[in-house]
Amino acid sequence: MSATNDSRSPKPGFARVLVIDDEPEIGTAVRMGLASGGFKVDWVATAQAGMDRIATWHPDVIILDLSLPDIDGIEVCKAIRGWSPVPIIVLSIRDQDRDKIAALENGADDYLTKPFSLPELQARVRVALRHAANTAGGDNSDTIFQTGDLTIDFERRVVKVRSQDVHLNPTEYAVLQYLAVHAGKVITHQTLLRAVWGPQYEDAVQNLRVVIAQLRRKLETDPSRPRLVLTDPGIGYRLKLPE
């Protein structure tokens, strides 16, 4: 499960990106911006047109607005995730934490608020492609995850930073393992708490913050400026994939 190996990921010029957004200026800007980065881009203005296009065009990444004229974007996320693993990046003017959490909990892989920068959007698309390639390539059968100075041997449960062993307690390891399996993807507080502590602890966000702080002290060169375990304020955490 080496995060540094993205040879299976579609390259710009081959990767297909479907934009579902009813604002013509946004659709045009995103289409032109991603096309300049080497992606094949299609744009539709309604949820139903998007669903039809997914079935026929088979995009590698979907960029989805939440405020669509026919179906709410949260419901679109849920519907797509019911039959397709394609990465979904929400691009929305809604900036409330509840909207971000709802989208991520219902199938979105990432969330970017408007206004946005095209270079950041291109970077998010590339991360989504790498994560999808790792998942499709059989991560469950690989035992080694590597990103930057961090290496995790899942079979031996050994964690190293710059080739030096790092001791983690069972909870720290469980959180890191979950983030690594989903590297590059925003994982909400509630998802991590359910996965590691159990459903009865999904509101115990302070417990999670303590463990994240401990992980940063052990893994990061400068825990006050983390480069591996990143925070999406009010939402959750992600383990960064290499650029």
d(CA 210, CA 54): 41
Average of pLDDT values for 78-106? 90
Output the pLDDT for position 173: 92
pLDDT at 95 over 90: no
pLDDT digits (tens, 9 = 90+) for 197-232: 888 888 899 999 999 999 999 999 999 999 999 998
Q: Which tokens is 198 given?
A: 């159990």
> For residue 106, which amino acid is it?
N
d(CA 156, CA 158): 5
pLDDT at 76 over 90: yes
78 phi and psi angles, rounded to 5 deg: -60, -40
DSSP letter for each residue of 78-127: HHHHTT----EEEEES---HHHHHHHHHTT-SEEEESS--HHHHHHHHHH
CATH number for region 16-136: 3.40.50.2300
DSSP state of 148: T
Q: Which tokens is 17 given?
A: 């990106």
Query: Minimum mean pLDDT among 6-15, 33-42, 148-157: which range?
Result: 6-15
Q: Which tokens is 189 given?
A: 């507080």
Residue 70's nearest CA partner among 95, 52, 56, 84 is 52
Output the pLDDT for position 5: 42
60 phi and psi angles, rounded to 5 deg: -85, -25
Length of the chain in terms of residues written: 243
d(CA 193, CA 102): 16
Q: How confident is the model at residue 136 (pLDDT cuts 50, 70, 90)?
A: low
Question: What are the distances in angstroms from CA 181 to CA 71, 114, 119, 145, 212?
Answer: 31, 29, 26, 8, 16
Let me know if the fold of 16-136 is the same as that of 143-239: no
Output the pLDDT for position 156: 86
pLDDT at 166 over 50: yes
Output the pLDDT for position 48: 92
pLDDT at 46 over 90: yes
> For residue 122, which amino acid is it?
Q
Output the pLDDT for position 12: 58
CATH top-level class of 143-239? mainly alpha
pLDDT at 10 over 70: no
pLDDT at 176 over 60: yes
Residue 103's nearest CA partner among 81, 121, 130, 134 is 81
Average of pLDDT values for 31-49? 92
131 SS3 class: helix
Query: Minimum mean pLDDT among 136-150, 154-168, 210-224: which range?
Result: 136-150
pLDDT digits (tens, 9 = 90+) for 96-115: 889 999 999 998 999 999 88
Domain ranges of the chain: 16-136, 143-239
> For all residues of the chain together, what is the average pLDDT?
87
